[in-house]
Structure 1
């Protein structure tokens, strides 16, 4: 027995005073109506309706039960109605995890405009380069960067791909020489971003030939901004996402090397639990993120 359906059938029979009328309004056959009432009576252990071939009437137990059933069905209807505003427009709390450097350099300046567009929306943004457990920690969405996204039951929507560039300060190259091949890196000072999927080995490819260079660094750090600071200070050389140093390369504060070799790309994904029954608040955030990077492509 589907108890909710049986309760709805009982309520409709009592309301219409007729099995046939109840069946027509619910789109059920007379046999299905009778079966639901019989199973409900067996469940509660009492006769709820006196019925003959010509008429029906609630028993005393049926009248008492109807009061409680009516309140329960009304409460369920109220619960559904309470969600209508949430389902209709973005509102409520969004809990989001995102990498710190990526967010600060690529997203955060646009977030105030996003929140102004949706005044009923609250954003709890956690800037953390660790890989959070979205479901266990209660996040609605996480932004993750990866060369290869692991298999998962989560939905992953690609947002953008960041190429990497090998670079250092001009003064560092003047002092130590500019590498002409990946093998030349073995005599230089790598700055290691410890959370990268390629932290220990840098890969370079040219004309189908791959070279892998082990990264033996004096300085390892879990922030790309700290890597950039060390590069600016002339401390060493690093393979870093190009968007993080684009302005430095443009102004000459940093210089690129081995540009005739291709290097790794990191794809950024919006990762979330499910496509089914997606809340408007999550849909609004996804649309915002996609628009941000579509705008960057067109620009």
Structure 2
């Protein structure tokens, strides 16, 4: 069992089903069973996916001293995730409202409250990093000082900078520079994914770059092999919502790569894992166990 450190956002996520985008104005709607509130956020999504896959997880995050923060604590316990490093340091817990349509498209509205101004206690971080083989440091401000600490310990750093289009992006530059495993979305890229991956590796020397391509699957660039290639998507069941698909891709890749550092096998497993996950509504739902993932992979044609 691999021990993986995860630092990232936890929020209360409310999903609202809409008929289509753009949304036609109506003063009142009644989408029965179309409005749900759950605990999610990138940090939570990644930690829960890794734990479902069988990894040992250390989850560091910041929540509020409020009722939503208490809900996070209860959900951590219900999901069997460790809560010792999830600290109630904020006045209010972050929240998101996500609109999604029958085609699986979504619009995410995230209110981070004052979390971007808060600092994670360094002494607690040092204890949490002990014995970890990999650090998944999500691009939230309290993760930023953790980049140097993980690197100083010789722990490989993985991060996902999501929708990005500038190599010198002021917010994400630190994360891109530190990453051994770097994920991002294709949605805002200024060029084709192959050219972008080459630019990233030339600028930062990143060993492994993965670009999520949505329905197009994912692109993998492995610097040591000079490899750049696309891997097709796999829809294991009908799509309900693409919320959290990128987090699922990231998590399953880390799970596989931490166990055996083969990026080609890891991306194939990650695509199947994410393709199954999008048959669920919430970002922290629909995860396969390791055994179920391997069984699904075994059913695929050679």
| TM-score normalised over the length of structure 2 | 0.25
Whose Rg is larger? 1
Structure with more of its chain in helix, by fraction = 1
Structure with higher RCO (Cα < 8 A, 6+ apart) = 1
